[in-house]
């Protein structure tokens, strides 16, 4: 089975100006070091800063961005289910989690999958906000150990099933800052 057909990139999900506004907002936030799962901090495996966006807590700006991104990403996730003819999945009503990520020099995340016993996720998504950096490539590994590289187009959303068939990683960042939104439905 080729996993490539189940990894979809939707371009122009949000305009470039909106990407710039979200990056400007991100630069005003206090990010935390991202953990693996609920509690493990191991920068040899995952080195990235995270900020959780929730629609009901935090500042009014946090709520605005969380609701805006929830609306946009959920809409495209449901389109993805229709286009992939994945009728066994129910409609995604809302995001289970939505985080803003900031990768800086040497930031990375080794191969992993997004679903587990602790995280019941159906679909994963990454929204690219910029591409003015070097390194930081998003790669998937198929069953033949061949890598699939995703082009980071600002404003584009990549969606795939969260299960064990879709291991993926972010290569170390060499230069600049890489801003993305990650979400799960």
What CATH number corresponds to the domain at position 180?
A: 2.60.120.620
* 44 within some domain: no
pLDDT tens for the chain, 185 residues: list them: 689 999 999 999 999 999 999 999 999 999 999 999 878 899 999 999 999 999 888 889 999 999 999 999 999 999 999 999 987 778 899 999 999 999 999 999 999 999 987 888 999 999 999 999 999 999 999 988 899 999 999 999 999 999 999 999 999 999 999 999 999 99
> What's the pLDDT score for residue 1?
64
State how far the alpha carbon of 154 is from the alpha carbons of 91, 97, 141, in Å: 26, 21, 23
What's the domain count of the chain?
1
Q: What is the dihedral of CA 74, 14, 28, 176, to 10 degrees?
A: 110
* 40 within some domain: no
* 112 within some domain: yes
| Measured distance CA(166)–CA(123) in Å, rounded | 11
Strands 173-175 and 134-135 come out as: antiparallel
* 18 within some domain: yes
* 79 within some domain: yes
Single pTM value for the model: 0.95
Domain range spanning residue 142?
3-35+50-184
| Measured distance CA(141)–CA(180) in Å, rounded | 20
* 45 within some domain: no
| Measured distance CA(152)–CA(129) in Å, rounded | 8
* 165 within some domain: yes
| Measured distance CA(154)–CA(76) in Å, rounded | 16
* 175 within some domain: yes
């Amino acid at each position: 089975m080729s996993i490539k057909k189940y990894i979809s990139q939707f371009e122009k999900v949000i305009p470039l100006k909106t990407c710039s506004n979200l990056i400007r907002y991100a630069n005003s936030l206090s990010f935390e070091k991202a953990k693996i799962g609920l509690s493990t901090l191991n920068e040899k495996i995952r080195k990235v800063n995270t900020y959780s966006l929730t629609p009901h807590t935090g500042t009014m700006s946090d709520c605005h961005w969380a609701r805006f991104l929830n609306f946009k990403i959920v809409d495209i996730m449901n389109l993805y289910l229709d286009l992939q003819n994945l009728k066994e999945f129910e409609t995604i009503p809302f995001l289970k989690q939505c985080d803003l990520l900031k990768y800086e020099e040497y930031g990375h995340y080794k191969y992993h999958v997004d679903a587990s016993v602790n995280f019941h996720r159906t679909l994963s998504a990454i929204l690219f906000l910029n591409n003015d950096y070097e390194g930081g490539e998003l790669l998937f590994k198929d069953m033949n150990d061949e890598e699939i590289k995703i082009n980071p187009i600002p404003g584009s959303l990549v969606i795939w099933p969260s299960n064990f068939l879709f291991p993926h990683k972010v290569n170390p960042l060499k230069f600049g800052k890489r801003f993305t939104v990650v979400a799960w439905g």
